[in-house]
Every structure is written in structure tokens, then in C-alpha cells.
């Protein structure tokens, strides 16, 4: 079993839709959770960073962590064609701050 599971998609939605991206994980030691966005021919860039359970909002993006279910989500409101990218979840424990464990990535396309 992979430590982090993420549906690779592809996911295609119309512009303006609410997008929900998810990851599940098996290691209960994970405490820090990240979402990276990777455009084609670019490296990943950090989008959201959360600690432990709860919600964090930044503009049109909301990150949600449910540690009891070992489930994290990224919601994108009012999605735009510029949001088309691959979204990677990543996480780590309190120890090993430099050893991120990534999901496979979900490829998202927003259609105008």
C-alpha cells in the first residue's frame, strides 16, 4: 500500500465550477500537509501549507485536513482556465522535516 494515495485523473471541469481534489494517507505520524501546483514544463510550486487538522483558506483555495480519516482536500472555487495544472499533495511528520512524501498528482483541466 502506498503511503499517500491520489487519483491521477485526468479531471476536466467547466470554468467557474468548484473543484475538489483529494488525498488519503496511511501514516498517522504525518502532521504537516501541503498542496503543490505544477504547470506543464515547470517545477512544482507551493500552494497551501497546513498543520494538523482543520481548514485554511487563501483566496479561491481552501485546504482541509481530517486526520481522523487520514484524508486531505483542496477546494478551488470559481475555477479559471489558468488553474489547469497538475496538483500534488505532500505531507510529512514532525521529524524528518525535509522528507516529504508526495501523492502521484491529479491532472486538472478547466475548460473555458
Residue 49 near another protein by CB under 8 A: yes
Residue 102 near another protein by CB under 8 A: yes
Find cell 489558468 and name the residue: 82
Contact 91/30 with Cβ under 8 angstroms? yes
Contact 75/65 with Cβ under 8 angstroms? no
Contact 49/57 with Cβ under 8 angstroms? no
Alpha helices in the chain (DSSP H): none
Region binding another protein by CB under 8 A among candidate stretches 10-18, 41-49, 50-58, 73-81: 41-49
Closest distance to another protein from the beta carbon of 1 (Å)? 13
Residue 45 near another protein by CB under 8 A: yes
Please identify which residue in 1, 41, 68, 112 interacts with another protein, judged by CB under 8 A. Answer: 41
Amino acid at each position: 500500500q502506498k503511503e499517500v494515495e491520489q487519483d491521477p485523473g485526468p479531471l476536466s471541469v467547466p470554468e467557474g465550477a468548484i473543484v475538489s481534489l483529494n488525498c488519503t494517507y496511511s501514516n498517522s505520524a504525518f502532521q504537516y500537509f501541503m498542496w503543490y501546483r505544477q504547470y506543464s514544463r515547470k517545477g512544482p510550486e507551493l500552494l497551501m501549507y497546513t498543520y494538523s487538522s482543520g481548514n485554511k483558506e487563501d483566496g479561491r483555495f481552501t485546504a482541509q485536513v481530517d486526520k481522523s480519516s487520514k484524508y486531505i482536500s483542496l477546494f478551488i472555487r470559481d475555477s479559471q482556465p489558468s488553474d489547469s495544472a497538475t496538483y500534488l499533495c505532500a505531507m510529512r511528520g514532525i521529524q524528518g522535516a525535509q522528507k516529504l512524501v508526495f501523492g502521484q498528482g491529479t491532472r486538472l483541466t478547466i475548460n473555458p
